[in-house]
Amino acid sequence: MDEIVFLDVATIGTVENLKELNKLGKIDFFEETLPDQVIERAVGKDILITNKVEITAGIIDHLPDLRLICVAATGINNIDIAYAEKKGIQVKNVVNYSSDSVAQLTFTMLLHLVNKPGYYDNFVKSGAYAKSNSFTHHGEPFWELRGKRMGIIGLGTIGRQVARIAESFGMEVVFYSTTGRNNNINYKRFELDDLLKNSDVISIHAPMNDRTRGLITYDKMKLMRPCAILLNLGRGGIVVEKHLAKALNDNLIGGAGIDVLVNEPIEADNPLLKLYDKSKLIITPHMAWASKEARELLVQKIGQNIEIYQKGRP
């Protein structure tokens, strides 16, 4: 029976089917694991599961029994993959488990910024509506998505799901390929500057790499329409955070929605927390991926990765 350890199970929260992993071996669960606790908790284990805990070459050298690293996410930048492979250790991640969840929050943010339900809800609950002489109120104008253009940066699995939903609202979808290789025939492909200049909504769903790091700067935001909405549900660092704060304060763009940051949790002095008009920005704590269904599917796919390894083992 394989010895298994899950180093940071708190990162996926309470998931009903987590107990199913017990069928695959003797497993130890830890809510979180600090860097100096990894070796102690993983030594003697055949299989290691981690979401964000780093597994470096130095750690791998102290784990002679380790044969499989399962990453409870898509990104695997916290693993020294080259060294793991050199040591004969397989590294398996999980893909296509959160597309619907991320797409749903994308439009939650967009509709929040466009329709301003918080303002209108407060207008009623504050008592102002009860004192009004009119059956309606027009304090914060909003616009319809129909007929507007959605510019998507990163037309992968999530980007395509966002595109389909945008079309259901009657939006025109265009995209920018961060690799330069995506030629999706269903949508027009724009260069970045043209996308920024000509879109009402910019929605980022790209990975972090050398082509996307610092992609959206203050100068790029200058190209955007004054009423445009910028959404980043890709990776922190694609949008330069201090530049976004300045752009919002300078009224360069209409608003922004952010689920990912360079440093997570957010640092107390992040300029995005000190905007003149906080209603122009909605920030969530990297949870767009984490619907109940997505987390259950994540656990299911971790289990499948372990089963594939076990069946293929000599």
User: 235 catalytic, yes or no?
Assistant: yes
User: 40 catalytic, yes or no?
Assistant: no
Strand bridging mode 26-29 / 172-176? unpaired
285: alpha, beta or left, given left = phi > 0 and alpha = psi -120 to 50?
Answer: beta
Report the alpha-carbon distance of residue 18 to residue 305 in Å, rounded.
14
User: 137 catalytic, yes or no?
Assistant: no
The single residue of 32, 264, 293, 307 carrying the catalytic annotation is 264
Give the per-residue SS3 of the chain.
Answer: CCEEEECCHHHHCCCHHHHHHHHHCEEEECCCCCHHHHHHHHCCCCEEEECCCCECHHHHCCCCCCCEEEECCCCCCCECHHHHHHCCCEEECCCCCCHHHHHHHHHHHHHHHHHCHHHHHHHHHCCCCCCCCCCCCCCCCCCCCCCCEEEEECCCHHHHHHHHHHHHCCCEEEEECCCCCCCCCCCEECCHHHHHHHCCEEEECCCCCCCCCCCECHHHHHCCCCCCEEEECCCCCCECHHHHHHHHHCCCCCEEEECCCCCCCCCCCCHHHCCCCHHHEEECCCCCCCCHHHHHHHHHHHHHHHHHHHHHCC
**Nearest Cα residue to 49 out of 38, 37, 34, 62:** 38
Structure-token pair, residue 121: 């809800």
The single residue of 235, 241, 243, 295 carrying the catalytic annotation is 235
Would you please indicate which residues are annotated as catalytic (active-site) residues?
Answer: 235, 264, 286
